[in-house]
Structure 1
């Protein structure tokens, strides 16, 4: 169970499903690793998406077995290439093995049921 008092850079609500259902099954290790990565990057991480319920995942076009529905993934906003570089560097340094780069965000997850390690630039 996450001790949110020990998490310096994030609040629990940042990882809650955006549809309003209240689902927040975020994995402890994901949060602690993100918190450490945020500290090392020394720049804010804006969480666009954390947990998703199955309905919201379907509504946003997520894959059926999305790591977001398992509480194992987050999408982080990347407003510039320099921010993207800093965030990716920190994510890899703390041990994330699955990182997908999109134009405006980075997806990272710890879903070991999917191929890893993997670093992909998505189009």
Structure 2
């Protein structure tokens, strides 16, 4: 059973067909919990696991890190929070980070390029 110190099941139910915390990888959730603790601020998840069908319905590949339970997006509306989140994600061991205007993506996919930060 996948467990989290800081995040509740309903924070992962954001796609159709239904998604849940149980679709995530425990290693990803453990890193996310560590990052949340390091940052010292609440993390609001905007995306986590997405079924391949849901991913494709939004015009995405259906094969990204979200579809294997290894990615999360965190809402960030200020540059200070963005810094705190990115810093904490790096300290927690995430090696793949994407920065958007209103969110930060992090994943620990082992099949994608490592030690990268990109912009949306």
- Regarding TM over 0.5, the answer is yes
- 1:10-25 equivalences in 2 (<5 Å): 10-19=7-16, 21-24=17-20, 25=23
Q: Aligned residue for 1:27?
A: 25
SS across alignment from 2:112: coil
Once the two structures are overlaid, the 10-residue window that deviates more, 9-18 or 85-94, is: 9-18
Distance (whole Å) between structure 2 residues aligned to residue 96 and residue 83 of structure 1? 17
- Measure how far apart 1:82 and its partner are: 0.6
Distance (whole Å) between structure 1 residues aligned to residue 59 and residue 103 of structure 2? 16
Q: Aligned residue for 1:38?
A: 36
Distance (whole Å) between structure 2 residues aligned to residue 39 and residue 17 of structure 1? 23
| Bigger share in helix | 2
**Conserved 8 A contact 1:16-1:52:** no
Q: Aligned residue for 1:106?
A: 104
- Measure how far apart 1:63 and its partner are: 2.3
- Measure how far apart 1:115 and its partner are: 0.5
Distance (whole Å) between structure 2 residues aligned to residue 63 and residue 85 of structure 1? 29
Deviating 4+ runs (over 3 angstroms): none
SS across alignment from 1:68: helix
Aligned residues: 118
- Measure how far apart 1:14 and its partner are: 1.5
- Measure how far apart 1:17 and its partner are: 4.2
Unaligned runs of 5+ in 1: none
CA deviation digits over 1:8-52, x for unaligned, max 9?
Answer: 210123223422x22331010111111111011010111001111
Q: Aligned residue for 2:55?
A: 57
